[in-house]
Structure formats: C-alpha cells, structure tokens
Structure 1
Amino acid sequence: MHRFFVAPECIQGVQVHLDGQVSRQMAQVLRLRTGERVVLLDNSGCEYVVALQSISPSRIEGEVLEKRESLGSPEVLLTLYQGVLKGGKLDIVLQKGTEMGISGFVPVLCRRSIPRLSKDWATGKYPRWHSILTEAAEQSGHARIPMLEPLVSLREALAQATGVRLMAWEGEKERGFRETLLEHLDRIRCEGLSLFVGPEGGFDSDEVEEARDTGVVPVSLGRRVLRGETAGLAMAAAVMYQVGELGC
C-alpha cells in the first residue's frame, strides 16, 4: 500500500479528509481509485489503514479501517551533523540517510565548506529538503519524518550534540570507528549517537581539537578515504547493523 504523511487534523475519528498536494498525488499521479487502501501516517508513530471513498484532485474522503503502531523507525536515535557540501550532494545525504534510519540532520558550516554559505541561503533550501525527507520516509517505511535543524556553525553543533559523539577524521591513527562503536554500544542504545562528518576536504586540525575539547571522539573510517556525502551513510549503516536494525 502507498504511504503518505498527513497532518493529524486530516484524520477525525474514522473519517479522513485530504486536500492539497496529497490529494493531487493520489488522484493525478498515482491515479488511485475508490475502494483502494492506503496507509496514512500522522508523524507521531501511528499509522492508519484507510479505504478511499471519494477521489478528486482537490479533495479525497476516506474511512479508517485500522489504527496501529508504526514500527518502521529505528529505536536508536541517530543524528548526523553534516558539513555543508557542494551542489546537490546534501540532497543525497538527506534521502539516503533517511532510508538508512537517521533520525535527525543538522547542516554544519565548517572552515572548508565551499562556498561559504549564509544561514539565509539555507533557509531557502528547507522546503525542498523537507520534501526530500518526507518522500524518503514514506518510501522506506519510517514512522516519523526525520528532524531537520537549522544551519549552524561547528561550535554551535558541538554545544548542542547529545549522547555518544563521534567525529569522522582521516587524520585519526589510534581509534577506529568499529571498535569505538562497539565499546559504546550500550550507551548508544540508551542515549543515542551524534555523528560529525566534514565537508569536502574534511575537518581541519583546529576543528578536530575543538571537538576533542568538548568530549567528541575522533575516529578513523579505515584505510580508504570516503567522500563527504558517503562517510555519514557508511557510518549510519554500520550503526544500524550493530544495533540489529538491518536484517530480520
């Protein structure tokens, strides 16, 4: 069944009333018919199996057949602090990271971010980014749309990050990501995990030292150097595997 995130007020008891973009997508893009069933999500962790009763591009009516807990989102809270990337690479990180199970994204301005962007620039990108997150969450079976926080400086990001905090850095020679992840796995299950990934060129040494001073642990991702848009996804996949979110 097709899945759609909708505003909670669209679902009133057993009656469903949809309009706007969702009704246009159902009627004109997917060409759903009366009697077909869809799954609606209210972004609170609940999902509703709905039978469509009347369909038009401007309005759709339906009836709730079943309300149930949605189990699609991982239990581990994983936040990615991603250094701003060039072009549309951040779009890829948001889409694939959502599929992988990341719970929240924070774009971070770093010293090597190209170009030097302003917070006003990021504000203009948010409607598109939110749309990417919503579509990816619908496709991948998430119970909730991942959080997308405002653009922050690295110093601000370090101050707000919670749980176990790890930073991918190609200059780290002593601590590997895998062993550090396993060492802190019980804490990660309870407190969550914040991952820091740099832009093209990575973090510079001063940024890494600033992170160390706040308790962030720099880790190596191995002998190969991953691109800015790849590192966070690889780390998220490893986390989900270790906590049992990949596989049966």
Structure 2
Amino acid sequence: MHKFFVPKSSIDGDVAVIEGDDVKHIYKVLRLETGDKVSINNCSGEEFLGEIEEINKKQVIVRCLERLELNNESPIEIYLFQGLPKSSKMDLIVQKATELGVKEVTPIITERVVVKSELGEFKKLDRWNRIVLEACKQSKRSLIPKVNTPLEFEKLLEFLKEMDLVVVPYENQEGYGIKNLAKSIDKNNVKKVAVIIGPEGGFEETEINLLKELGSHIVTLGPRILRTETAGFTCVSLILYELGDLGGIV
C-alpha cells in the first residue's frame, strides 16, 4: 500500500487532501484510481488507512477510514553529524540515513571540509529534505527526519552535551569497536546517540582530542578504510543492531 505524508492542516475531520508533486505521481506514475486504499501520515507520526474518493490534476481527496496503530521508528534516536562531503554525496547520505531510521542529519564543517560557498550549501537543504521525504515514503517511516543547516565543528561540541552516547569512527583507532562499546555501556540508559563522521580527508587529531575530552567513544569500523559516505551507514547500522531494532527486537 502506497504511503503519503500530508500536513495536519490538510486533514479536516476524516478527509485528507493531497496536493503538490504527489498528485501527478499518483495518477500518472502509480496509476491509482478512486476506491484504491492508501496510507496517510499527518507528518506528526499518526497513520490512517484511507480510500481515494477523487482525483484531479490539482489534488487527491482521501477519506480516512481508520487510524492505524503503527510506529516504525527506532527506540534509539540517532543524530548523524556528517562531515560535509564534496559533490552530491550528501544526497546519498541523507537518503540512506532516512531508510535506516536516523532522526536528524546535520552536515558539519570541520578543518578538512572545503566549502566553496556557504550560501550554496544552504540552498541544498531544500533538495536534501525532498530526498528525505521520498525516502520516508519508500521505507515506511512514521516520522520525517530533519536535515539541519551546516554546523561549525565548535558549535557541534555544545550539541553533544545533550546526548547519552557519542560515537566517532576514526581510521587511526584500533582494538575498540561497536561490539566492545555495546558491552561497556548500560543499554537501558541510552536513548539519544550522536554519530559523528569525518569528511573525505578525515578528522584532524586536535578535533579527535576535543571529542575525547567530552567523553566520546572513538571506535574502529574494521581494518579497511571506508569512504565518508559509507562510514555513516556502517556505524549507524551497527549501533541499531546492538542497541535498536535493526535485525528485529528480541
């Protein structure tokens, strides 16, 4: 069943109105018709089983039949802080982070990040958030993750004080990985996890030392060096396997 996110303001009683790009997608690509069932999410985590009542070129009218008791969010809130990569790599990062269940993605500007135009990076936010929305539909997320504006490394350190656990993959770390980390902490006291990924050139040693001073766990992801766009997926997956719902909850 296809899923659509509709703002609360577009739901009146048991009638939801779908507008924008989804309308064309519904009748031209998916070829849905009146009477077809769809899932409606009010962008706040509430899900409804709906039936299409009317389709035109401007909007799709859906009758909400019942509320669905559905929550596809992980019990662990993961906040991904990603060293701003070159080219369009961030597109892939936000897409896959959304599929895995990350709550927020924040690009960070470290010593080895090259920002050609700060304004240009801010302009990319709209595209990144559109990618997130499409990934939410595909992966059946209950909530839409947010992609935040790029953050300077110094300001990042303040955000980390709010986290229960901070994990930093680092290519020079040896002998201490996610398995060791999972054994060394009280999993019941971990709700908010920050994952910090360096850019293509990696972290400066001074940056790693600052993160250590805050109590961050500096980990290895294995003997092979991963690209920046791969490191985040790998680290998030391992954390969700050990602490969250990836692989199923026993």
Match for 1:122: what amino acid?
Answer: E
Aligned to 1:219: 219
2: CA distance, partners of 1:9 / 1:194: 32
Give the 5 Å matches for 1:71-90.
Answer: 71-90=71-90
Instruction: Tell me whether 171-180 or 37-46 shows the greater mean CA deviation.
Output: 171-180
1: CA distance, partners of 2:18 / 2:185: 45
Deviations 1:111-156 (A, max 9, x none): 112x324432221001110011011111011101112111001111
Provide the TM-score with structure 1 as the length reference: 0.93
- Counterpart contact for 1:73–1:141, Cα < 8 Å: no
What is the RMSD computed on CA atoms of the aligned residues? 1.6
Give secondary structure in 2 for the equivalent of 1:203. coil
Give 1:159 shift: 1.2
- Counterpart contact for 2:165–2:190, Cα < 8 Å: no
Count of aligned residue pairs for this structure pair: 246
Give secondary structure in 1 for the equivalent of 2:61. strand
Match for 1:231: what amino acid?
Answer: A
Aligned to 2:157: 158
Aligned to 2:180: 179
- Counterpart contact for 2:39–2:48, Cα < 8 Å: yes
- Counterpart contact for 2:6–2:16, Cα < 8 Å: no
**Percent of pairs with identical residues:** 29
Give secondary structure in 1 for the equivalent of 2:155. helix
Aligned to 1:138: 137
Deviations 1:76-97 (A, max 9, x none): 1001110011111111111111
Provide the TM-score with structure 2 as the length reference: 0.92
Show structure 2 runs of 5+ residues with no match.
Answer: none
Instruction: Tell me whether 76-85 or 220-229 shows the greater mean CA deviation.
Output: 220-229
2: CA distance, partners of 1:87 / 1:38: 36
2: CA distance, partners of 1:227 / 1:146: 23
Give 1:57 shift: 1.7
Give 1:244 shift: 4.8
Aligned to 1:147: 146
Aligned to 1:125: 124
Match for 2:130: what amino acid?
Answer: S
Aligned to 1:230: 230
Give secondary structure in 2 for the equivalent of 1:44. coil
- Counterpart contact for 2:82–2:198, Cα < 8 Å: yes
Aligned to 1:112: 112
Give the 5 Å matches for 1:44-63.
Answer: 44-63=44-63
Q: 1:181 to 1:153 in 2, by over 3 A?
A: farther
Instruction: Tell me whether 65-74 or 140-149 shows the greater mean CA deviation.
Output: 65-74
- Counterpart contact for 2:72–2:141, Cα < 8 Å: yes
2: CA distance, partners of 1:135 / 1:27: 17
Show structure 1 runs of 5+ residues with no match.
Answer: none
Q: 1:4 to 1:47 in 2, by over 3 A?
A: same
- Counterpart contact for 1:24–1:56, Cα < 8 Å: no
Match for 2:60: what amino acid?
Answer: I
Match for 1:129: what amino acid?
Answer: W
Aligned to 1:167: 168
